[in-house]
A and B are shown apart, each in its own frame.
Chain A
Amino acid sequence: MNMEAFLNHLVAKYNFWLYIILMMIGLYAMIAKNNLIKKLVGMNIFQTAIILFYVSIGSKKGGTIPILEHVSGGAQHAIDPANYVNPLPHVLMLTAIVVSVSTFGVALALAIKIYQRYKTLEEDEILTRIRES
């Protein structure tokens, strides 16, 4: 593949590249960071990347919001599916956001429990404490 074709590919599908970069940032934080809260933030970035991916696949060039009354050209205009963005991925992501918030909540509660027990959130220190006891 020559440079121009590669660039075209990159520009045409930039949403895919962006979500993959975000996902990898999240995954990196989850694997490489030592602090449990940083790992949790990494997990949240990972989930958000996928939410953004879904939101991006619903959008269309020049598409309006999928609500009939608020379309500029009147109700007739919005009947054609090519003219408005696909609402389904966005609706799905509302549910996914709820899931991600609850996962984050449970994980933070666990982090509090761990902190109360070990007085630290650094994973290596916790592991040494466990080995000592």
Chain B
Amino acid sequence: MIAHYPALLVTIPLLAAFVIYGCSWLHKKSCLPLALLALAISCAVSIGLLAQAIAKGHISYHLGGWQPPWGIAYEVDPLNALVLVAVSTVAFINLIATAGEIEQVFSDRKGAFYTLYLLFIVGLLGIVVTGDLFNLYVLLEIASITGYSLIAMGQADRAPLSSLNYVFMGTIGACFYLLGVGYIYIMTGSLNMADVRALLPSLYHSSAILVAFIFCLVGVMIKMGFFPLHTWLPNAYTYAPSPAISLIAPLMTKVMAYVMIRLILSVFSPAFTFASLVVGHGIVWLACLAILMGAILALSQRDIKKMLTYIIVSEIGYIVGGAWLGNNTAMTGAVLHIINDTLMTFCVFLAVGGISRKLGSVELNNFKGLFKKMPFTMGAFVASGLSIIGVPPTCGFFSKWYLISGAMEAGSYSFVCVLIISSLINVILFFRIIETAFFAHSDPGNRHDYLLSEIGEISLNTLIPLLMAAAGLLVLGMYSGTVVGRVIQPALAGIL
């Protein structure tokens, strides 16, 4: 059984998705327990895989018994096992937290919602675990198409149009990736990542490989919302339904950032990426621009959800910049930031989702006096805000620390400056909200403020997961040394 964990990880939610769709016709009440069960199993399996990967170093699973490079192999190393745990845990906790809202808002089409939810997770887990370049494309499109549909289920006015814009951009991204894979296939005749990696060194001088790398990279960057290619992201994420967005916003962009790191580390190898390619510095500069522009655009938003989407753009800049600085410390920071940012974004979107459910809208002005009404929700919001800023005991600080040390090591002081400036802008962003929520007095004549006097804390089954996520920020911060020492360093050893 343990030997089949990599396959179970993906097939259980996949099968459950279709069973749930069938159940939605016959017995609507069983949809939620089935979805929870499937996600709990894949969560447990991914934790088991992480333990195995730490013990053994590397697991290769051959689907259907076909040997690679002919068959599809699932490769698990400590690095992607860590991402798997992050993805499946966030998916599981998010479903517990938002089940109440899903049952209420999507009461007539909840079968569809849960099916899409599970297929989205299948896509993401598959992207992370697969060792085949073309398989990655297929799973990427599974995750994207379900993501488009989940986003389109949001606000009736704007969500379909922003989702359609996402479809256009996302499809261009996936096509570019596919084209890059085509060039790799022409040159090497293989699609298996490990095989391609072994075949590539004799072809590094070839311009076709360079073009393939650039195509793959641009495709992945469109999907992750890297700054000049981020235009689909803010609207799509703002108008999506909140149970879906606290799932999509933390996971989709971060998993794509992981795909970029995987392409660098285990397909094209750092030697090619950083040595024979001159674009590295350019990408670090672009990352600086992404971080700054994300922070500045966030500053100009009055809607809290939209502000947070621009913060995601800025965070993606951190990860891309860290990955392209090209040394061990910065790469450690980038990988750690993928995990930390998944948790921080999850926590902050869950809190904002809960608030928006109570308030109806999340304009900054509506936050007046909110601390008195929802002390715990706002507490979790502040915790995630502090983590995004990078205040020491929270996990956000440690990944920024690695990123800054890596940038120092690489002599890229502009990146250091940009990191510090964006942290300061984040201070303004979050303290503006905290100040409004804590000190601003509500005006009794205002209709909205009357509404505020009526509301209370969000329901317990949302609040408990939210507080767990907020506590997780502190725990992950305290154990970040262990994560780096036990998981990230062994995975990077010998590669970078």
List residues of A whose CB falls within 8 A of some B CB: 27, 30, 36, 39, 43, 46-47, 50, 53-54, 57, 89, 92, 95-96, 99, 102-103, 106-107, 109-111, 113-114, 117, 126, 130, 133
CB pair B149 A106 closer than 8 Å = yes
Residues of B within 8 A of A43 (CB): 167-168, 171-172
Q: In the assembly, what is the distance between CA of A86 and CA of B391, in Å?
A: 56
**A54: chain B residues within 8 A (beta carbon):** 182
Residues of B within 8 A of A111 (CB): 164
Q: How far is the CA of A46 from the CA of B152 in the complex (A)?
A: 23
Q: Please determine whether B145 and A95 come into contact, CB atoms closer than 8 angstroms.
A: no
Instruction: Please report whether the interface of chain B is mostly helix, strand, loop or mixed according to DSSP.
Output: helix
Are A53's CB and B164's CB within 8 A?
A: no
| Given A30-B168, A54-B182, A110-B163, also A103-B175 (CB < 8 A) | no
Residues of chain B in range 156-184 having any CB-CB distance to chain A below 8 Å: 156-158, 160-161, 163-164, 167-168, 171-172, 174-175, 178-179, 182
User: B186 interface residue, CB < 8 Å from A?
Assistant: yes
B185 to A: closest C-beta gap in Å: 7
* A110 CB to nearest B CB, Å: 5
What total of chain B residues lie within 8 Å of the partner, measured CB to CB?
26
Q: Kindly identify, within residues 119 to 158 of chain B, every residue whose CB is under 8 Å from any CB belonging to chain A.
A: 134, 137-138, 141, 145, 148-149, 152, 156-158
Which of B380-422 touch A at CB < 8 Å? Answer: none
**Interchain CB contact under 8 A, B160 and A46:** no
Asked if A114 and B160 sit within 8 Å, CB to CB, the answer is yes
Closest to A44 in B: B171
Chain A minimum-CB-distance residue to B163: A110
B152 to chain A minimum Cβ distance, whole angstroms, is: 6
CB distance from A63 to the nearest CB of B (A): 16
Cβ–Cβ contact B164 & A103, under 8 A:
no
Complex: A50 Cα to B141 Cα, angstroms: 15
- A110 in contact with B152 given A89-B185, A99-B141, A103-B171 (CB within 8 Å): yes
Q: Among B145, B157, B167, find the residue whose CB has the most chain A CB atoms closer than 10 A.
A: B167
Are the CB atoms of A110 and B148 closer together than 8 Å? yes
A27 to B175, CA, bound (A): 11
Which residues of the partner chain A approach B145 to less than 8 Å between Cβ atoms?
99, 102-103, 106
Contact A47 B138 (CB under 8 A): no
Chain A residues near B160: list those with CB within 8 A: 110, 113-114, 117
With A102-B145, A113-B152: A50-B163 Cβ-Cβ less than 8 Å: no
> Are A47 and B175 in contact, with the CB atoms below 8 A?
yes
- A sample of 24 cross-chain residue pairs with beta-carbon separation below 8 angstroms, ordered by A number, consists of A27-B172, A30-B168, A43-B171, A43-B172, A46-B175, A47-B171, A50-B178, A50-B182, A53-B179, A53-B182, A95-B134, A99-B174, A102-B141, A102-B145, A103-B167, A106-B145, A106-B167, A107-B167, A111-B164, A113-B152, A117-B156, A117-B160, A126-B161, A133-B157
Partner of A57, one of B149, B152, B182: B182
Contact yes or no, B134 A92, CB < 8 A = yes
| Residue from the list B148, B158, B171, B182 in contact with A46, Cβ < 8 A | B171
The verdict on A130 contacting B138 (CB below 8 Å), with A39-B168, A110-B167 known, is no
Given A36-B164, A99-B141, A113-B152, A50-B175 contact (CB < 8 Å): yes
Known: A50-B178, A114-B160. 12 other contacts (CB 8 A): A30-B168, A43-B172, A47-B171, A50-B182, A95-B134, A95-B138, A99-B137, A102-B145, A106-B149, A106-B167, A107-B164, A109-B152
A21–chain B nearest beta-carbon distance, Å: 14
A27 partner residues in chain B, CB cutoff 8 A: 172
Residue among A89, A99, A111, A130 with max Cβ neighbours from chain B (10 Å): A99
- In contact, B134 and A130 (Cβ under 8 angstroms): no
Chain A residues, Cβ within 8 Å of B182: 50, 53-54, 57, 89
Q: How far is the CB of B29 from chain A (nearest CB, A)?
A: 27
Closest CB in chain B relative to A30 CB, distance in Å: 6
